[in-house]
A and B are shown apart, each in its own frame.
Chain A
Amino acid sequence: LAKTTQPISMDSYEGQEVNITCSHNNIATNDYITWYQQFPSQGPRFIIQGYKTKVTNEVASLFIPADRKSSTLSLPRVSLSDTAVYYCLVGLSGNTPLVFGKGTRLSVIA
């Protein structure tokens, strides 16, 4: 199972871009990289998924280098409502046991 390593916490001011990096050295060939956001007392919510290079949607971008041993979630112009825990997940949803790491607690400051 691919294990992930993320920073425990990060702080940012409103309006800044935040980049959270996840290491996953033993990622398998058919694994995807998925990021989730979790607010207190709520279930995690899907943000973005990618396999390689760059993926962008309306809320975030995901950068994956060629060796795929790490990935970076980029949140443009964060606001107070982006304060949450962010999880990097490596695997193939629906096909394997999925291992969440301990997540990164992002605190956005006014």
Chain B
Amino acid sequence: EAQVTQNPRYLITVTGKKLTVTCSQNMNHEYMSWYRQDPGLGLRQIYYSMNVEVTDKGDVPEGYKVSRKEKRNFPLILESPSPNQTSLYFCASSFSPSSGKNTGELFFGEGSRLTVL
């Protein structure tokens, strides 16, 4: 089954304790991205990657890191989490336009709810 898988789905942690949220897709997509969703603010893009070893900042990258060492994986790293990073996080992927397979559809994971105390 084609899917985007995020882990963990739920996490409660404390300020300053490094954590990683993993994202994996099995559709051979070039493009992957991370979003955070907060009440009243909609979805805001944190980072995106157009292909392996290529990453760029989105709208709200402060406090986050990403890496794209493999095509299927795009982990989100919070080196020193703070309470303002309490949010619902979504990973998404798609084909790139140059692949000839792009339908415009972003495939989203089920979300990771993070609470930083």
Which residues of A pack against B, CB within 8 Å? Answer: 32, 34, 36, 41-46, 49, 87, 89, 92-95, 97-103
Of A42, A46, A101, which contacts B110 at CB under 8 A? A42
Stretch at the interface among B11-19, B41-49, B66-74, B78-86: B41-49
Whether A102 and B92, one on each chain, are in contact in the complex, defined by CB atoms closer than 8 angstroms, is no
CA distance A93 to B110 in the complex (A): 19
Instruction: Indicate whether A94 sits within 8 Å of B50 (C-beta atoms), given known contacts A49-B105, A99-B45.
Output: yes
Of A34, A94, A97, A102, which contacts B30 at CB under 8 A? A94
Interface band, chain B: 35 or more
Of A46, A92, A97, which contacts B97 at CB under 8 A? A92
Whether A103 and B42, one on each chain, are in contact in the complex, defined by CB atoms closer than 8 angstroms, is yes
Minimum CB distance partner of A98 in chain B: B45
Whether B104 and A97, one on each chain, are in contact in the complex, defined by CB atoms closer than 8 angstroms, is no
CA distance A103 to B40 in the complex (A): 9
Additional 14 contacts, C-beta under 8 A, given A36-B106, A93-B94, A94-B29: A43-B90, A43-B108, A49-B103, A87-B42, A87-B43, A89-B106, A92-B97, A93-B102, A94-B97, A94-B99, A97-B56, A97-B58, A100-B43, A101-B42
Minimum CB distance partner of B29 in chain A: A94
Whether B111 and A97, one on each chain, are in contact in the complex, defined by CB atoms closer than 8 angstroms, is no
Q: How far is the CB of B32 from chain A (nearest CB, A)?
A: 9
Instruction: Indicate whether A43 sits within 8 Å of B110 (C-beta atoms), given known contacts A98-B33, A98-B45.
Output: yes
